[in-house]
Structure formats: structure tokens, C-alpha cells
Amino acid sequence: MPFTRGLALVLLVSIEACTSDVDRSMPRPQPPLAAVPRLAVHQAARSPRLDGVLDEPAWGLAKTSGAFVETRNGGAAAVQASAKLLWDAMHLYVGVEVNDAWLRASDRTRDAQLWKQDCVELMLDPDGDGEDYFEIQVSPRGEVFDTRYDARRVPTPFGHLDWDSRVLVGVSTRGAIDDLEADTGYTVEIAIPWQAFSLDCTPGQPPAIGEQWRANLYVMDLGKKRQRAAAWSALGTGDFHVPSRFGILAFEGPAH
């Protein structure tokens, strides 16, 4: 009997050890992502100044996106940022405020690969079909990268770089770019003319009140050790080009 009990104990310990090894090797299931966010976009009575300061009354009435989240799982992001949007008959206005202790933006040419350093990024899919979507990036220096895609990452590698959004931008920085001193962040204002969203020679038009577009916003941050990012709508993957996970912009009339 002692021998039997000892053998059973050895077998039990061996089974538990093997099971523990298997558990450690198996990927843990990720919690499901939250539903894509929705943001009301109010019509502005007066167009805001593009100075990188969101202090006009229209911005004060605009709804905020809330804090951007970690791009893969929707948790708290290391990069702190939030956005507001407005619209009028001429433009879609995007204001993004970023907390950033280390401003890095050395590129000074149009359509440079801004995403490798610090920048604000916007993707817009007006009809929400996952095709014919647009990408615009703005760095803390006010440099612009813009392109258009026929479908998810098509054409590769960077879409139709000949597309010109004709955006107007205003940027204010809280610190000097590319120096060795600590910074606190920057704010980007973007005005995108509706004509930019033209396809098949059909001029783009402002949305009707009640219309909804799909969009996502991101912030890229080159820290001292590695690149980090945050998003308005989490994607469940490291790829930002997931139109099905873009949030919803709901165009409304003037705020009261």
C-alpha cells in the first residue's frame, strides 16, 4: 500500500506539471473588443482659426472623443490624446490634442513617412464600405502626408500618393521639436475641403445632417526607446488599416 500511494503521488505531480506547461504555452484568449465608438460632429456657425489652439466657441461646444486607447486591445494607452471634430459647408475640421514629453519630427518634405516619428493620423471612409478610404497625417511641424486607397492597403505600399487633400493645418507645440529638453505636447488643427473626397471625377460634397461616415484617428509617438501609438477605435491588431473597426462620425446641426 505505501508503494501504491507513493506511485499515485508521483503520477499526480507529473500530470500537474505537464498540464501547467501546456497552460503556459497556450495563448490566452483576448477579451472581445468594445463596439466601435460614435462621435457627434456639430456644424460650426463660424469656421475656427487654424492656429493649433482650440479656444474658439465652436470648439468649446464640440463633443470630445475621450481619451484614445491602446490600438490592439482598447485598454489604457501610454500615449495620451483626444480629438474634437466640426464641420461647415466648406470643410471638415479636426482638432487633436496630444501629451508628448519628447517631440520628434525631423521630416520637412511633403508625403514623407511621418508615421515613423510623431504625428496625428486620420483615416476616413465616407460611405463606410471598407473601400475608397483616405489617409491624412500631420506632424508637429505641420508637414502633411496624404494618400487614398481603393481597398484595404490597395494599392501597396502606400496607396495613391498622387492624391492631394489640399488640407489646411495649424499646429502649436508645447516645447521645441528635436531638441534635448523635455516637452509637454502639441495640438493639431486640420481643415479638409469636401472636394478632396471626390471619386470618378465626381466632386465631393458636404454631408447632410444625420449622415454618418466611418473614420479612425491615431497618434504616433517616437519615444526615447520605441515607437508607441494610440487610437480612437481599437483595432484588435497591429495594422491600422481595418475599416471595419473605424468609428462612426455622426454629422449633426449646430450645438446649442
Grid cell listed for 192: 479638409
CA–CA distance, 89 with 193 (Å, rounded to integer): 9
The answer to whether 118 touches 82, Cβ cutoff 8 Å, is no
What was the pLDDT predicted at 6?
44
Residue with cell 490600438: 71
SS3 string, 180-227, reads CCCCCEEEEEEEEEHHHHCECCECCCCCCCCCEEEEEEEEEEECCCCE
Which residues on adjacent β-strands are paired with residue 146? 136
- Residue 151 phi, psi dihedral angles, 5° rounding: -155, -175
Q: What are phi and psi of 75, to 5 degrees?
A: -80, -170
The reported pLDDT for the residue numbered 8 is: 43
- Residues 210-253 have pLDDT tens digits of 999 999 999 999 987 789 999 999 999 999 999 999 999 999 99
Per-residue pLDDT reduced to its tens digit, 103-123: 999 999 999 999 999 999 999
Q: Binning pLDDT at 50, 70 and 90, where does residue 199 land? A: confident
Taking phi first (over 0 means left), then psi (-120 to 50 degrees means alpha), and beta for anything else, what does residue 70 get?
A: beta
Nearest-angstrom CA–CA distance, 87 and 44 = 6
Average pLDDT of the residues in 166-191? 97
Amino acid at 146: D
Fill in the DSSP letter of residue 177: T
Q: Where are the alpha helices (DSSP H) in 26-122?
A: 57-61
Task: Report the mean per-residue pLDDT for the chain.
Answer: 90
* Confidence tier at 13 by pLDDT (50, 70, 90): very low
pLDDT range class, residue 201, cuts 50, 70, 90: confident
Give the pLDDT mean for 8-33.
50
pLDDT at residue 14 is higher than 50: no
Whether residue 27 is predicted with pLDDT greater than 90 in this model: the reply is no
Domains and CATH numbers, the chain: 34-254 (2.60.40.1190)
Q: Could you tell me the pLDDT band of residue 152, with boundaries at 50, 70 and 90?
A: very high
